Amino acid sequence: MRVIVRTVSELFITVGTVIVLFVAYVLFWTGVQADRVMDDQIDSLQQQWAREPAAAPRASASPAPPKPYSKGKPFAIMYIPRLGFTWNKPVLEGTGAATLKKGLGHYAGTTRLGQTGNFSVAGHRRTYGDPLKDFPKLRRGDAVVLTDGTTWFTYRIDQGPYKTVPTDVEVIDPVPRKSGYTRPGRYLTLTTCEPEWGHSHRLIVWAHLDSTQPVEAGRPKALRR
């Protein structure tokens, strides 16, 4: 009987240790890895932009259409001052599991950054760096600023956080029905999971493009302390 009790006790201790290690991995180590990966994505983008010469305008030729975003690759950096003046995350093309481990993901098929339509982005609430952990703090009037290396785009939140279910795909429509918008415009949708450690629902905020300026003009007002 003592052998059985000791064996069962050791088994419980082993299982408990494995669970604790797994929780530590999910809560801590994935965050460390994700932060490193996101920092690398941002550094890579900034180095790429520094190498790219500014294109000289040619009056006699029509501008070439922009290149499509590359799946799984970063193309912009997002800043949300409400979440902290040091908060910045890379935005990559696509919303697959592997992509969202590296930063925020642009919903393929939604409009390009700054263009007419609904530029829609998703991100993890928890794990993998907790990029949108404080999403519920967002309020109407808050700035969401992005840059693609040539232009600063400042969006202003109009509504949210709005709670819905994952099947409510209308939230990323060109004119989202529940956003309060009634006509085409230059919109931004941000989505993340709800509750904080679950994924049964989604939290949404909608914003409109408030202003743009070239990067040569310096950081936009929303990012100045």
Q: Tell me: the pLDDT tens digits for 33-76?
A: 889 999 999 999 999 999 986 544 444 455 667 889 999 999 99
Structure confidence at residue 31 (pLDDT): 73
For the chain, which residues make up each domain, given as ranges? 67-223
Calculate the CA 112 to chain-centre distance: 14
Chain segment 210-225, per-residue pLDDT in tens: 999 999 999 999 998 7
User: With contact defined as beta carbons under 8 Å apart, do 208 and 187 qualify?
Assistant: yes
Give me the active site residues, please: 124, 193, 202
User: With contact defined as beta carbons under 8 Å apart, do 70 and 99 qualify?
Assistant: no
What CATH code is assigned to 67-223?
Answer: 2.40.260.10
Structure confidence at residue 25 (pLDDT): 54
H helix intervals, the chain: 2-24, 30-51, 97-100
CA–CA distance, 26 with 169 (Å, rounded to integer):
28
Stated as kind and residue range, the H or E segment containing 45 is: helix 30-51
User: With contact defined as beta carbons under 8 Å apart, do 114 and 186 qualify?
Assistant: yes
% the chain with pLDDT above 90: 75
